[in-house]
Chain A
Amino acid sequence: MIRDLDGKCPSGALADRWAKYKAEAKLVGPINRRKYEVIIVGTGLAGSSAASTLAEQGYKVKAFCFHGSARRAHSIAAQGGINAAKNYQNDNASIFRLYYDTIKGGDFRSRESNTYRLAEVSANIIDQAVAQGVPFAREYGGTLANRTFGGVLVSRTFYAAGQTGQQLLLGAYSGLMRQVDCGQVEMHTMRDMLDVIVVDGKARGIVTRNLVTGELETHLADAVLLCTGGYSNVYFLSTNAMKSNVTATWRAARRGAYFSNPCYTQIHPTCIPAHGDHQSKLTLMSESLRNSGRVWVPAAPGDTRAPSQIPESERDYYLERKYPTFGNMVPRDVASRNAKYACDEGKSVVPGQRAVYLDFKDAIARDGRDSVEERYGNLFHMYQKITGQNPYERPMQIYPAPHYTMGGLWVDYNLMSNIPGLFVLGEANFSDHGANRLGASALMQGLADGYFVIPYTLAGYLAGEQFEPVSPSDHAVTGTLEETRERIDGLVTCGGSRSADSFHRDLGLKMLDEVGMSRTKAGLEGTVEHIRNLRAEFKENLNVPGSADGLNPELEKALRVADFLEFAEVMTLDALTREESCGGHFREEYQTDGGEAKRDDENFTHVAAWEYRGESEAPIRHQEQLEFTEVMPSQRSYK
């Protein structure tokens, strides 16, 4: 353990830090900006907002994504809403409260300066989105509507029916398309970034594979921004889009960027339960549903009666019972764990599977079916399509599923990793959410990073450095390209019999069982072994049909699974080393009498940051100490 990482946060009163930072920051003048080239990988909310904003300012931007269009990034799928410190409802929402809720929700494992800044810039995001034409829900008077989310007692979440992500992304994407139209952004779709090029210790480019032609390319620039999303698909089944993956950040880690808190993953409480062996993904039912739905199971284990046959007195509304203040709106980690406990006690509402009810009967009786339909119509519709059951008539069956990853590449207050010039934005960094993210805060963070943070911090970096041009024949460039080619050849010529998917499924099941909602020392140790064996088999027995010279989705999957298989080991090690429970990281050995997560502040009030040391050497665990000046760590209570 090396306690050596400095987050480079400004000093002084928490509320003044960002202003102080900006007052002291170096600038790049408008005329000079066009001399700088910036590579942005990813066009989700973080990448699109960063690309359009930096291009508007005059930087030359090259943006990349593996989709056919920038608009298809995983952010598109976000459903419920986006938080902002706006007190439109006059219910005492404020910057401080948003900061406080986020720090507490994250179980005191996030960096307070970042979290405060996030809350501070959040209000501007809504202004920017509305100016772009994002059609948020409105009241009859023409003002914006709000809803509330888990872990909070105010209404400050903005939404566009159940598709807030698509509407925000279309806003950011339209800004990006405008800059393509203006000639300020060069957009490269259908590109997989497979490595980072580091020249003289600085990130200066990337290696990409053109997914249509198979061609390997190098792209050079003065700074590289990774906005490549999270790694929930390490579990194979998750709510993430099928192609979401860890490759960009893991490859950067292999080049020396530290990976922080990989064990902090969020298992979302309300998803459609898993079924069968052929399932490819899990579908989220937005947390916003908990505004109106009530979670319950039969009070007696093994009760198989239809829900309508179970009288009120024989139901257990366990969240309302255990947490009277927050009720159904407890944070995600708490709601998920309690669903697990209910099923562990044999109270699952689907025999042979794991599920609890989310019931809208009372909301429909109180507010009317139309009102419920207006708020959640598309979610109900989706539920019905997938399950064939009508949630207006029968409670939804739900169960927790992997959803979001709080871990990611380590960044300082500038959003820069420990590799100079390599910046990381959005879900890809370890960021502001500590050990558990509150609902509606990921969209906020991605857009805060892209619209309002990176324009200031990137300028500071560029203005403070000298940049020699990098030649395409520089050995760092050709060497990285060659290594990528060898990696691909190794996969295509393996000649085994198992598909990439079958390895991925195998890995995912193990990770879900042992590094999912609850973890133990013995289970984690066994998992490290399991991953190593699987990785060895992958090297021998992978089957990638076809060649690398054209469109080959099996090769794309194999490249991603190879990286998941390496990354999973660090994730497991991180869970093993963090001998406490906090937020979504629940070690069974460390819990309170009531079964809540029990932190060890004395030994673990720090960020873990893993340094990769090669395939045969153990990684090094660095630490950044966390400081709290405004809100002191306490046992979280939602009772």
Chain B
Amino acid sequence: MSQTISLKLRVWRQNGPDDAGRFENFDLADVPTDLSFLEMLDMLNEQILQAGGDPIVFDHDCREGICGSCGFMIDGQAHGPERGTTVCQLHMRHYQNGDTVVLEPWRATAFPIFKDLMVDRSAFDAIQQAGGYISVNCGNAPDANSVPVGKEEASDAFESAVCVGCGACVASCKNASASLFTGAKINHLANLPQGRPEAARRAIRMVETMEDRGFGACSNTLECEAACPKEISIKVIQKMNREYLFAKLTHPTD
């Protein structure tokens, strides 16, 4: 049967991008340890609402670790202490009675704050729009088995394609770089034969859009890999750099 614990929460409150923001403290009692972290926040919000306050805004939807909506810093770690876990999949059994827990939004110039713990990640869509696709119109496709793809290339593509676009990589990087995200997208398509014809152009445009959107440069501190809830390997950044350099050499005008 589930136990209950009491927590102290220190939560970042900020009313839009122009507000200075501040921490607010809350006490929450009787939290069953089989709740998820977001269910604990639901409980807190119900308490705030009953007391006539303004509930804490955080993004979420699937609560299954796949839509990539949720995400904020818990005690300085993106998505909290559990490796390979989005905050919606983090459970309160990892906390002790009396713990103080500090919640802050992703902080990055490219991710302006909507409110409290919710940020605007549309810069990721902009990167995807800059060639993060294969140009194939519907109706044009040959039979799916006409181009065999080796199991290993397919798995390599898949391991990059698992990215949920949550932004933890950016939030955990001291330069707020989006290299893990962009690298994963580039590597997913570059590994497949269908993705090769546009690979050079794609690498150039996506990397340059990432820079234009205000994400910083990668300085190899590996924080992103540790924070990624899908455990995407830093290798995708090396591969992205290779694709980009090769593309620059072979397509200097793009």
Q: Which residues of A contact B (CB under 8 A)?
A: 49, 52-53, 56, 67-74, 76-77, 86, 88, 124, 126-133, 135-144, 160-161, 163, 165-167, 170, 173-175, 177-178, 180-181, 187, 189, 212, 241-243, 275-276, 278-281, 283-284, 381-382, 385-386, 388, 451-452, 455, 497, 499, 501-502, 543, 545-546, 550-551, 553-554
Contact = CB atoms under 8 A, between A and B. Distances in A.
Contact of B129 (A127, A180, A551): A180
Interface of B: 2, 15-16, 32, 34-36, 38-39, 42-43, 46, 49-50, 52-55, 57, 59-69, 82, 84-85, 89, 91, 93, 114-115, 118, 120-122, 124-125, 128-145, 147-151, 154, 157-158, 161-162, 164-165, 188-189, 192, 194-195
B61 A133 contact: no
Contacts of A180: 125, 129
A69 B125 contact: yes
A177 B125 contact: yes
12 contacts: A127-B142, A127-B144, A128-B141, A133-B188, A137-B154, A138-B154, A142-B154, A212-B114, A278-B35, A280-B63, A283-B64, A381-B84
Which 8 residue pairs are nearest across A and B when measured between Cβ atoms? A142-B148, A174-B133, A131-B141, A127-B141, A135-B158, A130-B144, A178-B133, A241-B61
B135 to A, nearest CB: 6
Given A143-B148, A284-B64, A501-B46, 5 more contacts: A175-B133, A212-B114, A278-B39, A501-B42, A551-B57
A130 to B, nearest CB: 4
Contacts of A452: 138
A559 B101 CA distance: 32
B91 to A, nearest CB: 7
A138 B67 contact: no
Contacts of A381: 84
A545 B125 contact: no
B150 A142 contact: yes
A386 to B, nearest CB: 7
With most chain A CB atoms within 10 A of its CB, the pick from B46, B125, B164, B195 is B125
A545 B66 contact: no
Contact of A177 (B32, B114, B133): B133
B28 to A, nearest CB: 11
Nearest to B49: A499
Contacts of B150: 138, 140, 142
Contacts of B141: 124, 127-128, 130-131
Contact of A77 (B36, B38, B66, B162): B66
A598 to B, nearest CB: 36
B236 to A, nearest CB: 14
A199 B60 CA distance: 36
A184 to B, nearest CB: 11
B67 A77 contact: yes
B49 A242 contact: no
A21 B231 CA distance: 49
B120 A77 contact: no
A133 B195 contact: yes
B27 to A, nearest CB: 17
A144 B145 contact: yes
B158 A131 contact: no
Contacts of A131: 134, 136, 140-142, 194
Contacts of B52: 545
Secondary structure at chain B's binding surface: helix, strand, loop or mixed? Answer: loop
Contacts of A53: 138
Contacts of A283: 63-64
B189 to A, nearest CB: 5
Given A71-B68, A130-B141, A212-B114, A382 B89 contact: yes
Given A69-B121, A554-B55, A74 B62 contact: yes
Nearest to B121: A68
B151 A138 contact: yes
B42 A280 contact: yes
Contact of A166 (B32, B91, B164, B194): B164
Contacts of B130: 181
Contacts of B194: 130-133
Contacts of A144: 144-145
Given A76-B62, A241-B67, A276 B34 contact: yes
A554 B46 CA distance: 10
Contacts of B82: 385
Nearest to A130: B144
A142 B149 contact: yes
Contacts of B147: 130
Contact of B54 (A127, A129, A132, A546): A546
A128 B57 CA distance: 39
B74 to A, nearest CB: 16
B138 A72 contact: no
Nearest to B157: A135
A50 B97 CA distance: 50
Contacts of B43: 278
B138 A177 contact: no
Contacts of B140: 131
Contacts of A551: 57, 114-115, 118
Contacts of A68: 59, 69, 120-122
A72 B134 contact: no
A388 B1 CA distance: 12
B61 A543 contact: no
B151 A142 contact: yes
A501 B145 CA distance: 48
Nearest to A140: B151
Interface centre among A68, A136, A502 (most CB of B within 10 A): A68
A385 B91 contact: yes
Nearest to B60: A242
A77 B32 contact: no
**In the complex, which of the residues A135, A189, A212, A280 has the most CB atoms of chain B within 10 Å of its own CB atom?**
A135
A46 to B, nearest CB: 14
A67 B139 CA distance: 28
A139 B132 CA distance: 26
Contacts of B38: 280
A452 B142 CA distance: 15
Contact of B67 (A72, A275, A553): A72
A499 B51 CA distance: 12
B18 to A, nearest CB: 12
A88 B143 CA distance: 11
Nearest to A387: B34
A174 B165 CA distance: 13
B135 A178 contact: yes
Given A174-B134, A382-B65, A554-B55, A189 B129 contact: no
A131 B136 CA distance: 7
A141 B61 contact: no
Contacts of A386: 36, 89, 91
Contact of B134 (A127, A133, A276, A280): A133
A553 B57 contact: yes
